[in-house]
Amino acid sequence: MSVLTIATQAFLDQKPGTSGLRKKVTVFQQTHYLENFVQSIFNSINAPQGATLVLGGDGRYYNRTAIQIILKMAAANGFGKVLVGQGGILSTPAASCVIRKYQTFGGIILSASHNPGGIDGDFGIKFNGSNGGPATETVTDAIFAASKVITQYQLVDMPDVSLDTLGVSQLGAMTVEVIDAVSDYAELMASLFDFTAIRDLLAGGFRIKFDAMHAVTGPYATEILQHRLGASADSLMNAVPLEDFGGGHPDPNLTYAPELVSIMHADDAPDFGAASDGDGDRNMILGKQFFVTPSDSLALLAANATLIPAYRGGLAGVARSMPTSAAVDRVALALNIPCYETPTGWKFFGNLMDAGKVTLCGEESFGTGSDHVREKDGLWAVLFWLNLIAARRQTVAEIVREHWAQYGRNVYSRYDYEALPTADAQAVMAHLLASFATLPGQQFGKYCVQHSDDFSYTDPVDGSVSTGQGIRILFVDGSRIIVRLSGTGTEGATLRIYLEAYDVDVANHHLDAQVALAELIQAALQITQLQQLTGREQPTVIT
């Protein structure tokens, strides 16, 4: 085995965000760019000689090329074995499942999640640790530090390996095993949910429509929903993964899944609709002419968890990201279990789950999950909902409205302003920080500001402190406006405004969120001065 040592120069833009390093494909195609970052990972994680690594991605453009490079680098850096998803395909929750099932040292996941794909689209890479979850900030900081001083990387000089046939091959002294990760993941789901009840529900005429968005969950949904649960083939749409996601934007929301939304709002709509994103960790849940916000979904799953086999013993606790609505807090209070408010980023949930403090967790950005893996999990959420419906025998809308009647409604919406000039987005944040001293006590329509701050978090497990996690404007009546910069974009800056109002009046529960939040939206625009500072009259996406 010939090991090549290649001289290189550092790139100074390889700082991982909340979900690894994401850039345009053309950036990763630069000479040495991918290799530098991969070598920086290997230089930072202190893997023992002969360690086992998991590798795969969401199938987007450049996925196969990157896998071959990483395999050759892993062989040169002393790894003993790499488990690769068949065809190089591995959803993010399935990667976590495989890491945990086979107790590997960790894994490298190639994905830019819900970002567009194709030759002109985005690419991403991140390292997950032995718990199956995203690397901690300590690790990502070390990777970034290494990337700024790197002078060389190593790889073996050998032919590419086959990624499409299950089985074992050698890359020098390192074993490469192409695995059926779909089967591994399906078996885990079968251990959590009552597949018999879901199968009976579908056999009884309950109609579903699942949109895989030409992304990674297509094979997983086909195996589980169609082959194991008996859903008809036409229950699945866009189920073949494509390198450019069929030209679509694989983000499961009301804006980027218009075909599914149209189907679910038709007169002859199926009973249940769902979608997942590029790498399979996000979900959107729909009923007939009814959209379930991710915040409400998390609260409903927590409130009904004991109807699901895996959670019949109850929940240790729940957690939500700070921008996510407080709907789940009300459930936790009723159940007398802890509820943790964390920064955005699944690694914070991973710490809590590893410590046994929480069972369910979620983010408003269409991500929910539990301690079965250490990533958010789109298909898991879909199966949870199907199991819940099978147990309660009610429609999606009936289940949600009954929940609101019991707990009140946390009316919620998010406004995304994508691809803003970075300076404009930072000007909005600077304006808000400068207004902290004068905001308390100010009246905006019926809303009176009680407090404002820049959210910080002290991890109850390891004591680490995370600051600058988003600006909170809290009102006397419990309503909230949150403003933060997203770490998932690759072009300019994405600024997000989150709006939440609490309403216990059942008479208002039929209102569309935009109608119910109209006055709070105007308050947000006035407080942020967003239109004046950015020139943007409308958000890119409203959810």
The answer to whether 493 and 425 are in contact (CB under 8 A) is: yes
* pLDDT of the residue at 490: 57
- The helix/strand/coil state of 18 is coil
- Phi/psi for 207 (5° steps) reads -105, 140
Read off the DSSP letter of residue 308. Answer: S
Look at the block and give the residue holding tokens 């009923």. Answer: 287
CA distances to 139, 226, 384 from 270, in Å: 45, 16, 18
CATH fold of 184-407 reads: Alpha-D-Glucose-1,6-Bisphosphate; Chain A, domain 3 (3.40.120)
- Comparing CA positions, the residue from 457, 448, 455, 466 lying closest to residue 433 is 455
Q: Where are the domains of the chain?
A: 3-179, 184-407, 409-542
CA distances to 40, 109, 147, 335 from 150, in Å: 7, 22, 5, 51
CATH number (3.50.50.60, 3.10.129.10, 3.30.1130.10, 3.30.310.50) of 409-542 reads 3.30.310.50
Per-residue pLDDT of the chain (543 residues; tens, 9 = 90+): 799 999 999 999 999 987 799 999 999 999 999 999 999 999 999 999 999 999 999 999 999 999 999 999 999 999 999 999 999 999 999 999 999 999 999 999 999 988 999 999 999 999 999 999 999 888 999 999 999 999 999 999 999 999 999 999 999 999 999 999 999 999 999 999 999 999 999 999 999 999 999 999 999 999 999 999 999 999 999 999 999 999 999 999 998 999 999 999 999 999 999 999 999 999 999 999 999 999 999 999 999 999 999 999 999 999 999 999 999 999 999 999 999 999 988 889 999 999 999 999 999 989 999 999 999 999 999 999 999 999 999 999 999 999 999 999 999 999 999 989 999 999 999 999 999 999 999 999 999 999 999 999 999 999 989 999 999 999 999 899 999 998 555 568 999 999 999 988 899 998 889 999 999 999 999 999 999 999 999 999 888
* pLDDT of the residue at 317: 98
* Alpha helices for 9-48 (secondary structure H): 25-28, 33-44
Look at domain 3-179 and name its CATH class. alpha beta
Q: Check residue 302 and give left, alpha or beta (phi > 0: left; psi -120 to 50: alpha).
A: alpha
Same fold, 3-179 and 184-407: yes
* pLDDT of the residue at 489: 54
Read off the DSSP letter of residue 478. Answer: S
Catalytic: 111? no
Residues 6+ apart with CB under 8 A from 141: none
Is pTM beyond 0.85? Reply is: yes
Q: Check residue 88 and give left, alpha or beta (phi > 0: left; psi -120 to 50: alpha).
A: left
* pLDDT of the residue at 53: 98
E strand or H helix that includes residue 363? strand 360-363
- Which of the residues 113, 413, 452, 479 is marked catalytic? 113
Strands (E), 421-492: 443-444, 447-454, 457-458, 465-466, 471-475, 480-485
